[in-house]
Amino acid sequence: MIYYSIIINLIGFFIMNIDKKKAINNTYRIPEKNLFFICIIGGSLGLLMGMYKFHHKTKHNKFVYGVPLLLIANIIMSYSIMKIL
């Protein structure tokens, strides 16, 4: 569980960097639904850190409010799973 969390959050962090570079170069972007999918499957902390590190999607309300809400949901789910195990 810990290894999965580390890997998915690293993916979330670096995917924001990749999308920011694609935005600067005006090339094909990573769809927002894919970014939110990474959040849903546990990468919300990495994505949130990437948002602010790379100053990407920080003016979009659905990211500014949605990613932290998904982070809270991830924490609750992780806690629930750890409690079961």
Number of domains in the chain: 1
The mean per-residue pLDDT over the stretch 51-75 comes to 95
Report which residue type is found at 38: I
Given this model, what pLDDT does residue 82 score?
Answer: 85
Q: What is the pLDDT of residues 8-59, one digit of tens each?
A: 999 999 999 999 999 999 999 999 999 999 999 999 999 999 999 999 999 9
Given this model, what pLDDT does residue 52 score?
Answer: 96
Given this model, what pLDDT does residue 84 score?
Answer: 87
Contact 49, 84 (CB under 8 A): no
Identify the domain containing residue 20 by its residue range. Answer: 2-84
Contact 43, 11 (CB under 8 A): yes
Q: Is 70 exposed, middle or buried (0-12, 13-18, 19+ CB in 10 A)?
A: buried
d(CA 78, CA 12): 17
Given this model, what pLDDT does residue 3 score?
Answer: 95
Q: What 3-state class would DSSP assign to 43?
A: helix
